[in-house]
């Protein structure tokens, strides 16, 4: 078995889900998503045993394009993130009813297919194709099944689509230029290019624009909060939990090794941009009245710290960034799911209209509190491992970077605990908050189990990703 098996299962699953009809679509989608998770675990075991699970086949002769999938430890970590969160996201949606649900769930699997291909691709043009394919399903998911006024939703989604597509065209231009130099799109050939400082600058900026929009990095973040709010919760989970990781992963995989001279010269600027995202996202989150928007800006703040760690060009920074990517994926999906559960009962996300839930549902309150504490990087949670490692790497560059970056913990603790107090505590709400269902409980417990287990024992992931990160750093330092 090789990694192409995952793509085949997801693609077949998307078609099978669509043709299964509305009544069976959710169950068929869940079945195929669980199958991909099982295959991912098998592939991980095979990789650990020394088996080559990568794929490289000639695809198009002129220009020379290969169907090349790379399955090193870093790619496998992102594969596991995608295939673990996808069934959780699908299962979490079972409490909602969707018109034309066969199309809805088929689009989820197709998006998982495209995101998986992006993480695994080792050919520049193949990578670009998967990168763009991931944009199509989330566009329709947010547009058709989103929340709020239809015109406002349409404006937000169209802005997101055009903004992201425009940034990606600069990346495509960069790949075409690189092909003229290497006569190949294979990543290993692009790594070997001896580009001048000016060439690297333009390549770096072209990649940066595409990634800065997708992640997002301020000032390219203007689409994020509105789309997160307007999209259905499943769409928000896919965007925040997995899709934004495509940009962060691509910085490490493509941008830094191909144009390292730029990063070495302008490192401080890009670290400052990341830290600015931490401070800006936290301050704006403090002022939000809508629960989903607050979580969107909280995500922006945490992602800013990941960006800062990524651009340190140290093994600790890259390792901490990847650990935090994975931890953030689980905790943000859990928090948006909490917002969805509350909305199902109260039909509002206005924080001022909530409160008093603790007395009606102690179990839900306890699980929500664990997710909040994980979000603010409480020791023994997975997020603490990633954030501590990133802050340590920043302190090696400049102690003030670590101090400013650490505001994500201080400010995050303030606005998240304040939000928890307003939403969960206080007098009993006049509306009845029904206790969590079995399906809701299973989804939340699964997320919490991951956050606590790897908070105590992150070694399996660090052992998996570190060799790949060291290899990438060796490529960077040779140039």
301-320: buried (b, 16+ CB within 10 Å) or exposed (e) per residue? bbbbbbbbbbbbbbebbbbb
How many CB atoms lie under 10 A from the CB of residue 95? 15
Tens of pLDDT, residue by residue over 22-54, are 899 999 999 999 999 999 999 999 999 888 899
56 φ/ψ angles, rounded to the nearest 5 degrees = -145, 115
Kind plus residue range of the DSSP H or E element containing 69: strand 65-69
**Mean pLDDT computed over 194-210:** 93
**What's the first-to-final CA gap in the chain, in angstroms?**
35
Residue 407 pLDDT: 79
Q: Is the pLDDT of residue 477 over 90?
A: no
Q: Is the pLDDT of residue 59 over 90?
A: no
**Mean pLDDT computed over 405-409:** 81
In which band, very low, low, confident or very high, does the pLDDT at 431 lie, cut at 50, 70 and 90? confident
Q: Is the pLDDT of residue 182 over 80?
A: yes
Residue 125 pLDDT: 95
Sequence spans of domains, the chain: 279-479
Residue 463 pLDDT: 95
Longest C-alpha distance within the chain, in Å?
Answer: 69
Is the pTM above the cut of 0.85?
yes
Q: How far is CA 18 from CA 28, 235, 279, 431, in A?
A: 9, 18, 43, 37
How far apart are the C-alpha atoms of 210 and 158, rounded to whole Å? Answer: 17
Q: Is the pLDDT of residue 470 over 90?
A: yes
Query: By the 8 A CB rule, do 215 and 156 touch?
Result: no
Tens of pLDDT, residue by residue over 260-294, are 998 888 899 999 999 999 999 999 998 889 899 99
Residue 479 pLDDT: 65
How far apart are the C-alpha atoms of 414 and 39, rounded to whole Å? Answer: 41
How far apart are the C-alpha atoms of 317 and 322, rounded to whole Å? Answer: 9
More reliable by pLDDT, 187 or 219: 187
- Mean pLDDT lowest among 164-168, 414-418, 433-437, 454-458: 433-437
How far apart are the C-alpha atoms of 232 and 270, rounded to whole Å? Answer: 32
Query: By the 8 A CB rule, do 112 and 86 touch?
Result: yes
Residue 104 pLDDT: 96
55 φ/ψ angles, rounded to the nearest 5 degrees = -135, 135
How far apart are the C-alpha atoms of 375 and 419, rounded to whole Å? Answer: 13
Question: Is the Cα dihedral 204, 121, 131, 73 positive or negative?
Answer: negative
Residue 17 pLDDT: 96
How far apart are the C-alpha atoms of 268 and 122, rounded to whole Å? Answer: 29
| Summary mean pLDDT of the chain | 92
**Mean pLDDT computed over 325-351:** 93
Q: Is the pLDDT of residue 447 over 70?
A: yes
């Amino acid at each position: 078995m090789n990694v192409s098996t995952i793509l085949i299962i997801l693609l077949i699953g998307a078609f099978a889900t669509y043709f299964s009809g509305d009544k069976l679509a959710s169950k068929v989608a869940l079945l195929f998503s669980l199958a991909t998770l099982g295959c991912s675990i098998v592939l991980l075991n095979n990789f650990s045993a020394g088996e080559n699970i990568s794929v490289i086949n000639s695809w198009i002769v002129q220009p020379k394009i290969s169907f090349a999938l790379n399955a090193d430890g870093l790619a496998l970590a992102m594969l596991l993130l995608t295939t673990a969160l996808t069934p959780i996201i699908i299962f979490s949606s079972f409490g909602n009813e969707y018109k034309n649900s066969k199309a809805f769930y088929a689009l989820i699997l197709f998006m998982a297919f495209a995101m998986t291909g992006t993480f695994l691709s080792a050919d520049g043009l193949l990578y670009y194709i998967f990168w763009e394919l991931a944009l199509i399903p989330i566009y329709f998911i947010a547009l058709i099944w989103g929340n709020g006024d239809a015109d406002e939703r349409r404006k937000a989604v169209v802005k997101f689509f055009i903004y992201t597509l425009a940034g990606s065209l600069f990346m495509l231009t960069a790949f075409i230029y690189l092909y003229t130099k290497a006569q190949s799109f294979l990543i290993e050939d692009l790594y070997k290019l001896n580009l001048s400082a000016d060439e690297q600058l333009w390549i770096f900026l072209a990649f940066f624009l595409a990634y800065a929009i997708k992640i997002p990095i301020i000032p390219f973040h203007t689409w994020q909060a509105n789309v997160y709010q307007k999209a259905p919760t499943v769409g928000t989970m896919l965007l925040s939990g997995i899709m934004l990781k495509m940009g962060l992963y691509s910085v490490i995989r493509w941008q830094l090794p191909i144009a390292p001279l730029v990063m070495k010269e302008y490192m401080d600027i890009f670290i400052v941009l990341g830290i600015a995202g931490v401070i800006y996202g936290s301050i704006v989150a403090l002022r939000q009245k809508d629960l989903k928007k607050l979580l969107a800006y909280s995500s922006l703040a945490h992602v800013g710290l990941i960006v800062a760690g990524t651009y340190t060009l140290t093994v600790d920074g890259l390792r901490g960034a990847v650990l935090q990517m994975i931890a953030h994926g689980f905790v943000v999906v859990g928090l948006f799911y909490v917002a969805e559960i509350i909305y199902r009962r109260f039909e509002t996300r206005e924080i001022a209209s909530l409160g008093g839930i603790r007395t009606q549902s102690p179990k839900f309150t306890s699980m929500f509190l664990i997710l909040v504490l994980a979000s603010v990087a409480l020791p023994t949670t997975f997020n603490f491992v990633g954030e501590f490692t990133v802050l340590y790497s920043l302190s090696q560059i400049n102690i003030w970077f670590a101090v400013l970056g650490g505001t994500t913990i201080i400010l995050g603790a303030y606005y998240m605990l304040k939000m928890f107090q307003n939403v969960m505590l206080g007098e009993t709400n006049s509306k009845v908050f029904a206790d969590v269902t079995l399906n809701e409980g299973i989804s939340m417990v699964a997320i919490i189990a991951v956050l606590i287990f790897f908070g105590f024992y992150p070694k399996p992931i660090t052992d998996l990703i570190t060799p790949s990160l060291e290899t990438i750093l060796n490529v960077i330092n040779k140039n």
